[in-house]
């Protein structure tokens, strides 16, 4: 089976590529290596994949020329590529182009794939809004450009599946963390602050926020189960995440415990678009896929700290 992964050099995409390669899938991917965050981390990820003979095409999904470099015989497309986060420095146009326009062009490409078994769209719990605590039937109330454009992209993909152009599903992921996490994300930034004796910037009120922090391997396993059960998942929206809930404050304490040091907090003004609470209702994923996340937050943080220290040894501060 042959798989195309968009955003292959990113955090989750690179893990997915390695996992499927180990399962003897033919894995290829595309990544724009944009500068939303320092591209050197993506380049490091790409080196790891290239060493396993995983093909990476550098290109933007909004650019028609990118598709000329891709093959025409994919069985699965896993669409990770997106403008992430709720940064106030990112314009609406960047979210529109990278999340919606790029998806529309990828959809048109997917319609030409004669052997396509399934288009797996990667969405986010952000589509639910400030409180992502319900099942997939719940009303969606996104509060950020990210959530709005990811919801639109999700529906764009499913609309084509409803018209029988291909089979598709959409997976809403919850607060993913682990090795290769972006430098602007909670745990990489927190670990960096602790190791480098810097203050950790935290938005006012964030300590009490509740999250379904989900280790990246549990996310990858969930997506693999979707591939294995593709006959059951056409037109389905499925939550993938950890049903166990922790506060951000507990996450900080776990990092401090594993680093054996206190991390000073620098309080920033609150962000209006922040989610207040997430807890993954994975009843559907359990029923359809047999999905059960296994990694406790403290265990996952230990692995992320080990990865971070290894990166420093190999490449210096990240």
Question: Which of 105, 97, 109, 5 minimizes the C-alpha distance to 55?
Answer: 5
DSSP collapsed to 3 states, 67-133: HHCCCCCCCEEEECCCCCCCCCCCCHHHHHHHHHHHHHHHHHHHCCCCCCCEEEEEEEHHHHCCEEC
**So what's the pLDDT on residue 166?**
98
Stretches in the chain below the pLDDT threshold 50: none
pLDDT in tens, 252-266: 999 999 999 999 999
* Percentage of residues in the chain having pLDDT higher than 90: 87
Sign of torsion over alpha carbons 224, 228, 233, 234: positive
Give me the domains of the chain, ranges plus CATH numbers.
2-174+216-241+280-293 (3.40.50.720)
**So what's the pLDDT on residue 85?**
79
Q: Do the beta carbons of residue 123 and residue 158 sit within 8 Å?
A: no
What global pTM score does this model have? 0.95
**So what's the pLDDT on residue 313?**
72
What is each CA distance from 222 to 1, 168, 300, in whole angstroms?
A: 18, 16, 16
């Amino acid at each position: 089976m042959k798989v195309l992964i968009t955003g292959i050099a990113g955090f989750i995409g690179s893990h997915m590529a390695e996992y499927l390669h180990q399962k003897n899938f033919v894995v290829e991917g595309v990544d724009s290596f944009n500068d939303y965050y320092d591209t050197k981390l993506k380049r490091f990820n790409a080196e790891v994949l290239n060493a396993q003979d995983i093909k990476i095409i550098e290109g933007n999904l909004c650019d028609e020329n990118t598709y000329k470099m891709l093959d025409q015989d994919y069985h699965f497309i896993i669409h990770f590529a997106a403008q992430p986060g709720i940064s106030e420095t990112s314009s609406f146009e960047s979210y529109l182009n990278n999340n919606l326009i790029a998806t529309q062009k990828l959809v048109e490409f997917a319609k030409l794939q004669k052997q396509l078994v399934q288009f797996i769209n990667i969405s986010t719990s952000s589509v639910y809004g400030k409180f992502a605590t319900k099942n997939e039937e719940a009303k969606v109330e996104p509060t950020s450009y990210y959530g709005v454009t990811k919801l639109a992209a999700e529906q764009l993909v499913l609309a084509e599946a409803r018209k029988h152009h291909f089979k598709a599903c959409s997976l809403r992921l919850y607060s993913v963390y682990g090795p290769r996490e972006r430098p602007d994300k909670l745990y990489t930034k927190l670990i960096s602050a602790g190791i480098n004796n810097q203050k950790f910037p935290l938005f006012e009120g964030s300590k009490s926020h509740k999250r379904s922090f989900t280790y990246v391997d549990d996310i990858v396993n969930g997506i693999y189960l979707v591939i294995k059960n593709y006959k059951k998942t056409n037109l389905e929206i499925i939550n993938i995440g950890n049903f166990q809930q922790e506060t951000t404050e507990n996450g900080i304490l776990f990092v401090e415990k594993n680093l054996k040091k206190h991390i000073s907090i620098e309080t920033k003004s609150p962000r209006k678009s922040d989610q207040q609470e997430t807890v993954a209702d994975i009843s559907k994923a359990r029923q359809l896929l047999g999905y059960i996340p296994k990694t406790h937050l403290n265990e996952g943080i230990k692995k992320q700290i080990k990865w971070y220290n290894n990166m420093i040894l190999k490449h210096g501060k990240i």
